[in-house]
Amino acid sequence: MQKHLCPVFSTPLSLFLLISLIAGCSSHDEKELTGAGKDWPVYLGDKSGSHYSNLKEITRTNVDQLVPAWQYATDDSVSGNRTQIQCNPIIIDGILYGTSPSLKVFALDAASGRQIWEFDPEPEDNYAKNVNRGVTYWQNEQEKRILFTSGPDMYALNAETGEPVERFGRSGRISLHEGLGDRAEDLYLAATSPGIVYHDLIIIGSRVSEEAGAAPGYIRAFNILTGELMWTFKTIPGPGEFGYETWPTDAWKSAGGANSWAGMSLDESRGIVFVPTGSASFDFWGGNRIGANLFANCILALNAQTGERIWHFQTVHHDVWDRDLPAPPNLLTVIHNGKKIDAVAQITKSGFVFLLDRETGKPLFPVEEISVPGSDLKDEETWPSQPIPKAPPPFVPQIFTENEITNISPESYNFVAGFLASVRTGELFMPPSTQGTIIFPGFDGGGEWGGAAVDPEKGVLYINGNIMPWILQMVELTGDNSAKKGEGESIYEINCAVCHGIDRQGDPTGTYPALRNTPEKFTRTEILKLINTGKGFMPSFKHIPEKKKEALVAFLHEQDTKRVTVSGQSDIGLPAVPYTHTGYNRFFDQHGYPAVKPPWGTISAIDLNKGKILWQVPLGEYPELTAMGIPQTGTENYGGPVVTAGGLIFIGASKDEYFRAFDKYTGKELWKYKLPAGGYATPSVYEAGGKQYIVIACGGGKMGTKSDDKYLAFALPALKK
């Protein structure tokens, strides 16, 4: 078994703290935050990732009086449910900063919603290069800046005017490809979550392809004043670097992924940035990366000034399930065995919460390495064990068997039971297979990118969970079957089928369109441009050789005549990975409802002091099922909660497009409001003009729901004079 699976220090802590103290002088005012006050100055509220506001004008007794205070439309959503807004806006000194579906950045008067300025990084393109979850604010004595990303670029804007800062990089922007090496220059790269500021550094991760040939997901820090790259932490180690032996020899030259797309948390007083990382690429087969694969699927504690590793904790070894760590960890203080301990709480897609000592990375509750099933895919060697925390208990169920089949009707039960018998299920970490494997909870959690909220005074974590089984079926690409296919079809299966389907049928939710009848929709020139540049949620495939792109275009135009003469992906100029899969497929009954028994979405309160779930209630409903007498089912959900000192939890997220308030002590629903589109984003809480507001982006576009371009703010009605 490989070494280095446990937290290990690279620097004595006492020396590290001394270095941090010496380096801690700042040219501008920074303070440790334990929850947001009048402002919401950082993505998710504060640098600890708390999602917490200490405002309490709105309480459990008056929340039912909330009304819309203002609405702002960005005017750039795209018809066909093809856009989203996942932004958690920040509010500083009465000004709100956010992003639109096409990644325009704007500043609003936070009390009225009146636009102050707007900046469009790509005015000639009506589609975003990636989703965006927020922006970053920085200031010193001379200026204030907004930093944000669009595609592979990071921009710095004057926070007062929205104009690019000329002395930052090249006329206001830098490339996020910097520091990744020459081979990554043409590979897909973006940043969906904002970076975090430490003094004059912005520390940021990236989104990369989840297929073979992806860019490496190194963590980097850039100088905010100049855009200069200051440090790089290699999440795929090279020779002589810690963790190198957990990969095959020289894997760093070609391996990709192990990236941090979810955002980060920062302990400013200690100078430690906490980085959650995702899986290595390709997601579902790792025969070319045998080993534990540090630092994929890790909580990393890095020296924020230098990028030096302090400790790490790996939550999945040799991930072949797409179990990325999906959200920034929450930093809080808990009472553990009678002592106050500064801790790190990390939610996972699997529904676990890992609670670690902030200085050492040691689990506060026992973590057991359990034996898990092995893979029968060609050349694969899955890791024989996986870490399971003994407390808190998982906040969603984790094994799908006949006992978990939907019970909303006998017909639905029979439909699901018939299919379930044909696939593999019934154990934790059941590996991918050509037969088909149930991934439960699914690729989107459990916990997801909306993250968790914590009450820093009580040590209670609030998390919304998805309870949705997905089906993963691998498809072998090598051998006689592959050799009989056209070259373009083989390239399509490797690069495109995972989103658009093996048969080009598209994604059932509408996220990825069908590619049948392509000649009627796009010319050959238009298809080639899309392949080179990407569009919407589609990344660029510029790295594919030109002749191969031409073969792909011919296949999509149903003119694929050139055959693969020798089997194997390497023969068509692409990485030698012998499998693709049939796509990201939710497991529904015949009516489109989840195959598992309700609830399908929940919100839970977890006492992290004791490691116990305090309460759990459904989140969302299907009105038609409620009308049939079926108890509230909850729905799949995206976007996170916020918690307030007024005793409330605010959350959108649910498929029914409502915005809700819950009693944080009991889980009782106290208020709800139908949004113009789904609020698939984390709300922000702030004060402006002496009044408390809650604002949420209403972008819709997920789970087959309509898209929109609204931000909606709520407040208590004005008192009558």
Whether 198 has a pLDDT exceeding 70, the answer reads yes
The type of residue at 549 is K
312 has which bridge partners?
300
**Closest of 615, 635, 616, 617 to residue 625, by C-alpha:** 635
- Compute the distance between CA of residue 139 and CA of residue 542 in angstroms, rounded to an integer: 37
Task: Give the separation between CA 222 and CA 195, rounded to whole angstroms.
Answer: 10
Is the per-residue pLDDT at 603 higher than 70?
Answer: yes
Cα(450)–Cα(637) distance, integer angstroms: 9
Query: What strands, in cross-sheet order, belong to the sheet with 330-336?
Result: 330-336, 339-347, 353-357
Interhelix angle for 487-495 vs 546-556, to 10°?
90
Q: How far apart are alpha carbons 236 and 117 in whole angstroms?
A: 41
**Ranked by mean pLDDT, which of 284-298, 509-523, 538-552 comes out on top?**
284-298
* Domains of the chain by residue range: 1-25+190-326, 474-582
Q: What is the mean pLDDT of residues 281-301?
A: 97
Nearest Cα to 569, choosing from 352, 288, 261? Answer: 288
How confident is the model at residue 33, as a pLDDT?
45
Distance of alpha carbon 61 from alpha carbon 663, whole angstroms? 10
For residue 499, is pLDDT > 90? Answer: no
* DSSP letter string, 37-92: -S-B-BTTBSTT---EE---SS-TTTGGG-EEEEEEE-S---TTT--------EEE
Structure tokens that stand for 711 in this block: 């931000």
* Domain 474-582 -> CATH class: mainly alpha
Return the pLDDT at 595.
Answer: 98
At 252 the three-state DSSP class reads helix
Contact 680, 81 (CB under 8 A): no
Residue 503 pLDDT level (bands cut at 50, 70, 90): confident
Q: Which residues contact 60 (CB under 8 A, 6 or more apart)?
A: 646, 647, 648, 663, 670
Q: Is 6 a residue whose pLDDT tops 60?
A: no
Q: Is pLDDT at 563 greater than 80 in this prediction?
A: no
Mean pLDDT of the chain: 90
Q: Please report the pLDDT score of residue 537 as a whole number.
A: 59
**pLDDT single digits (tens) 399-452:** 999 999 999 999 999 999 999 999 999 999 999 999 999 999 999 999 999 999
199-237 per-position pLDDT tens digit: 999 999 999 999 888 999 999 999 999 999 999 999 999
SS (H, E, C) 269-338: CCCEEEEECCCEECCCCCCCCCCCCCCCCEEEEEECCCCCEEEEEECCCCCCCCCCCCCCCEEEEEEECC
**Rg of the Cα atoms in the chain:** 24
- Digit-coded pLDDT (tens) for 78-116: 766 679 999 999 999 999 999 999 999 999 999 999 999
At 671, which amino acid appears?
Answer: W
Strands 52-53 and 642-644: parallel
14 pLDDT above the threshold of 80: no
How does pLDDT run across 114-161, given as a tens digit for each residue? 999 999 998 766 444 689 999 999 999 999 999 999 999 999 999 999
Cβ(407)–Cβ(589) under 8 Å? Answer: no
User: pLDDT of 28-73, one tens digit each?
Assistant: 333 444 677 899 999 999 999 999 999 999 999 999 999 999 999 9
**Sign of the dihedral through C-alpha 103, 104, 107, 112:** negative
What are the tokens at 489?
A: 């079809």
* Assigned CATH topology for domain 1-25+190-326: Thrombin, subunit H (2.40.10)
Q: How does pLDDT run across 24-34, given as a tens digit for each residue?
A: 433 333 344 46
pLDDT score recorded for residue 676: 98
pLDDT at 486 over 90: no
Residue carrying the six token digits 């380096």:
23
In this structure, what token pair is assigned to residue 718? 């004005």
Looking at residue 280, its pLDDT comes to 98
What percent of the chain is modeled with pLDDT above 70?
88
The full length of the chain comes to: 721
Whether the predicted model's global pTM rises above the 0.75 cut: yes
Residue 560 pLDDT > 80: no
Say yes or no to pLDDT of 9 above 60. Answer: no
461 with 327: CB under 8 angstroms? no
Alpha-carbon distances of 608 from 93, 460, 613, rounded to whole Å = 33, 6, 9
pLDDT tens track for 246-265:
999 999 999 999 999 999 99
